[in-house]
């Protein structure tokens, strides 16, 4: 008997939860705010679904009632992707070590 | 056009890059590289999606336009936002992830052919279940985050909003979500799909209004987790590995952060979620308590104490963020260091309005991160320090958490500030903190209260040093 592909996806999902568990515990507490902003950015990979949804309209009618939601979702996710990564970058650039040569 | 197998491999690669992005955050040195991995992962995922669709129709131009509009807004916000507003920003971003998940689910429900999920009215059962879960969790994330955003922004009062029958009502709605999902999956009725979305929006709203401002670290982490689960639900629907991996990562990340925040307050997750904390306790005890003497001082006294100290520990809290005092604080510390006084910073896990809030503000003010310590790392040092400078923190220093079993915060880990030779407490007034309880520290022999705005007081102290 063949295994339903759903089971494979479920396996990926379960194992990823465990990876997430161990990886996140190793994040230093001082970087918890960048952690939240970067998880925001990466969870917006939902944009791949939005792109498929947006392009589902046919050529005569690009904006039908289903694809318009896709287009809106593209913009929302894009705000998060750009905003999330850039604000994380901005924050991380501020974390500096003590200067060796003290004035 | 690339094959489905090839694109699945690329999605897997971008999932792995996202894991590395989080892995990088284990230390500030590797964090920037990690963020870079995250960006690469995102570029791969988007490019592969374009390639897998293949035919470059006019729709593509619109996709790019919408992408660009969102991107510009996002970039603009990222550059303009002040660091003190990070909690609001993150709450706002969560709401967008939630809404995007809802929109993708709606689109998939209306046009399942585009996603190979069957036809309208005859969607594959498994996909419909996944879609409903993704949509419901997304809707809860959206409306919950909006409330969190309004509370953090101060547009909505930060105090808990409670009413009679709140918990039974919430329980009823949660049960009805399950019932509607079941009916939706058995009948495929589109009106049930809209009802499901409506009640999910409603419950997100109702779940967050009873939770007070200082419990926001838990709420934000929880919504972070929800946004992950919503993404994973959609990932299952779209059979997309990158989305499933990311959803699981974000979901467990948010859950761990909520756990850490709850532990920092010694409260159970349910105690926080049920809300109403700090709203009622206040009225009973405050009237009966007699006025106790308090020693208050000015900037000169504070400067004198610090000048004669050999080590100072700074304890920042939300008040520092409100007063935007981080830069003034660092200037004060620079002057102290010039006088060969050892300075370190002590951060309580729930200081501020989101996990790591204080660390970011101190980093913004150019405080080196190796001078900033977590509670466990520094708590033993208070006994050897000469001065503790508490700026904008309150409940996290309250010794009642260790000594008074009647206190609502009893058992919460606190910073042992009272063990210092002297304590300087910058505060606007004697008003109780978020928990609605008095802080014994105010009345201690070795405490000097500095009643003023945190920023002004810090600047004045620097002048007097």
Note the pLDDT of residue B297: 84
User: What's B443's DSSP letter?
Assistant: G
Strand partners, B316: B391
Quick one: pLDDT at residue B114?
83
Q: Tell me: pLDDT of B277 over 80.
A: no
pLDDT higher than threshold 80 for residue B338: yes
Calpha distance B194→B186 (Å, rounded): 15
Comparing CA positions, the residue from B152, B77, B145, B97 lying closest to residue B354 is B152
- Given an 8 Å threshold on Cβ–Cβ distance, is B363 in contact with A70? no
CA-nearest of B261, B169, B159, B244 to B210 is B159
Instruction: Determine the Cα angle at B39 with ends B250 and B141, to 5°.
Output: 30
Angstrom distance (rounded) from CA B217 to CA B263 = 12
Report pLDDT digits (tens) over B240-256. 999 999 999 999 999 99
Report pLDDT for B255.
93
Q: What is the pLDDT of residue B291?
A: 65
Residue B297 region by backbone torsions, left for phi larger than 0, else alpha for psi between -120 and 50, else beta = beta
Q: What is the C-alpha separation between A88 and B443, in angstroms, rounded?
A: 42
> Are A66 and B78 an interchain contact pair (Cβ–Cβ within 8 Å)?
no
Q: Helix, strand, or coil here: B373?
A: strand
**Which is more confident, B397 or B438?**
B397
pLDDT tens, position by position, B79-95: 999 988 999 999 999 99
pLDDT above 90 coverage of chain B, percent? 50
Which residue among B99, B220, B364 sits closest to A94, beta carbon to beta carbon? B364
**Is the CB of residue B223 less than 8 Å from the CB of residue B97?**
no
Question: How large is the average pLDDT for residues B393-415?
Answer: 85
Query: Chain A residues with CB inside 8 Å of B27's CB?
Result: 28
B215 an active-site residue? no
Chain A: closest CA distance from residue B279 (Å):
28
Longest Cα pair distance anywhere in chain B, in angstroms?
Answer: 79
CB-CB: which of B103, B260, B372 is closest to A73?
A: B103
d(CA B156, CA B202): 17
Residue B288 has pLDDT above 70, yes or no: no
Using one digit for the tens of pLDDT, what is the confidence trace for A29-67?
999 999 999 999 999 999 999 998 888 766 667 777 788
Percent of chain B having pLDDT more than 70? 95
Which of the pair, B194 or A103, is modelled with greater confidence? B194
Is B236 in contact with A21 (Cβ distance < 8 A)? no
- Lookup result for tokens 């603009």: B76
Rounded to the nearest integer, the mean pLDDT of chain B is 88
- Rounded to a whole number, what is the largest CA-CA distance in chain A? 73
Is the Cα torsion angle B456, B282, B419, B345 positive or negative in sign?
A: negative
DSSP assignment of B400-462: HHHH-TTSTTTT-----GGGSSEEEEEESSS---TTS---GGGGSTTEEEEES-HHHHHHHHH
Residues from chain B contacting residue A93 (CB–CB below 8 Å): 32
Q: How many CB pairs under 8 A join A and B?
A: 382
pTM for the structure as a whole: 0.90
Token pair 């063990």 is at which residue? B419
Confidence of residue B69 (pLDDT cuts 50, 70, 90): very high
The per-residue pLDDT for range B142-198, each reduced to its tens digit, is 999 999 999 888 888 777 888 888 888 989 999 999 999 999 998 888 899 999 999
In whole angstroms, give the CA distance from residue B339 to residue B330: 14
Instruction: Identify the pLDDT of residue B35.
Output: 95
**How sure is the predictor about B19, in pLDDT bands with cuts at 50, 70 and 90?**
very high
CB contact under 8 A, B242 and A38: no
Q: Residue A100 has what pLDDT?
A: 53
Q: Is the pLDDT of residue B312 over 90?
A: yes
Q: How confident is the model at residue B285 (pLDDT cuts 50, 70, 90)?
A: very low
- Contacting residues of A for B21, CB less than 8 Å apart: 38, 42
Q: Determine the Cα–Cα distance for residues A77 and A82; give it in Å rounded to an integer.
A: 9
Residue B184 sits at φ, ψ, to 5 deg, of -60, -45
Whether B435 shows a pLDDT value over 70: the answer reads no
Neighbours of B253 (CB within 10 A): 29
pLDDT digits (tens, 9 = 90+) for B425-434: 888 877 776 6
Question: Distance of CA A92 to CAs B36, B208, B323, Å?
Answer: 11, 30, 23
Give the pLDDT band of residue A7 (cuts 50, 70, 90). Answer: very high
3-class SS shares of chain B: helix, strand, coil, % to 5:
65, 10, 25
pLDDT at A76: 96
pLDDT at A103: 40
pLDDT tens track for B112-124: 888 888 888 888 8
Mean pLDDT (whole number) for B44-61? 83
- Terminal Cα distance for chain B, rounded: 69
pLDDT-based confidence at residue B286 (cuts at 50, 70, 90)? very low
Judged against a pLDDT cut of 50, whether residue B282 lies above it is answered with: no
Residues 6+ positions from B58 with CB-CB distance below 8 Å: A59, A62
Question: Rounded mean pLDDT of B30-39?
Answer: 94
Query: A86–B75: do the CB atoms touch at under 8 Å?
Result: yes
Least confident of B108-122, B247-261, B360-374: B108-122
């Amino acid at each position: 008997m063949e295994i339903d592909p759903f089971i494979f996806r479920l396996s990926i999902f379960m194992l990823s939860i465990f990876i997430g568990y161990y990886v996140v515990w190793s994040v230093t507490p001082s970087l918890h705010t960048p952690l939240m902003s970067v998880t925001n950015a990466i969870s917006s990979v939902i944009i791949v679904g939005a792109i498929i949804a947006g392009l589902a309209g046919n050529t005569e009618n690009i904006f039908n009632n289903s694809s318009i939601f896709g287009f809106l979702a593209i913009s929302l996710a894009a705000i998060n992707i750009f905003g999330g990564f850039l604000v994380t970058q901005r924050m991380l650039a501020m974390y500096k070590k003590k200067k060796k040569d003290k004035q | 056009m690339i094959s489905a197998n090839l694109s699945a491999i690329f999605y897997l690669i971008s999932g792995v890059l996202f894991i590395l992005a989080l892995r990088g955050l284990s230390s500030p040195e590797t964090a920037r590289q990690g963020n870079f991995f995250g960006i690469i992962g995102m570029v791969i995922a988007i490019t592969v999606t374009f390639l897998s669709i293949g035919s470059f129709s006019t729709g593509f131009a619109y996709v790019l336009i919408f992408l660009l509009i969102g991107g510009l807004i996002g970039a603009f916000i990222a550059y303009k936002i002040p660091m003190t507003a990070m909690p609001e920003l993150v709450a706002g971003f969560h709401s967008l992830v939630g809404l995007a998940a809802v929109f993708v689910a709606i689109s998939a429900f209306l046009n399942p052919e585009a996603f190979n999920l069957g036809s309208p009215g005859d969607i594959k059962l498994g996909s419909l279940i996944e879609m409903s879960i993704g949509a419901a969790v997304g809707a809860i994330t959206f409306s919950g985050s909006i409330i969190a955003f309004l509370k953090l922004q101060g547009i909505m009062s930060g105090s808990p909003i409670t009413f009679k029958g709140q918990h039974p009502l919430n329980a009823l709605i949660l049960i009805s979500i399950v019932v509607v999902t079941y009916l939706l999956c058995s009948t495929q009725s589109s009106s049930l799909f809209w009802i499901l979305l409506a009640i999910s929006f409603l419950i997100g709203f109702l779940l967050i209004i009873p939770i007070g401002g200082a419990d926001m670290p838990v709420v934000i982490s929880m919504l972070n987790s929800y946004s992950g689960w919503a993404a994973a639900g959609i990932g299952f629907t779209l059979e997309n590995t990158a989305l499933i991996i990311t959803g699981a990562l974000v979901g467990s990340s948010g859950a761990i952060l909520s756990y850490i925040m709850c532990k920092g307050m010694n409260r159970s997750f349910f105690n926080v979620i049920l809300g109403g904390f700090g709203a009622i306790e206040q009225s009973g005890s405050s009237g009966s308590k007699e006025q106790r003497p308090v020693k208050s001082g000015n900037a000169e006294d504070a400067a004198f104490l610090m000048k004669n100290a050999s080590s100072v520990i700074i304890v920042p809290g939300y008040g520092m963020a409100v007063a935007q005092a981080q830069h003034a604080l660092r200037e004060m510390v620079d002057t102290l260091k010039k006088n060969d006084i050892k300075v370190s910073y002590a951060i309580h896990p729930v200081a501020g309005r989101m996990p790591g809030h204080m660390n970011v503000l101190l980093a913004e003010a150019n405080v080196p991160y190796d001078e900033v310590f977590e509670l466990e790392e520094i708590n033993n040092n208070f006994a050897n320090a000469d001065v503790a400078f508490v700026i904008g923190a309150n409940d996290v220093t309250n010794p009642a958490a260790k000594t008074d079993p009647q206190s609502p915060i009893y058992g919460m880990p606190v910073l042992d500030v009272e063990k210092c030779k002297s304590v300087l407490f910058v505060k606007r007034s004697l008003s109780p903190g978020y928990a609605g309880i008095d802080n014994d520290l105010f009345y201690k022999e070795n405490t000097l209260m500095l009643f003023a705005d945190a920023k002004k007081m810090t600047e004045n102290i620097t002048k007097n040093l």
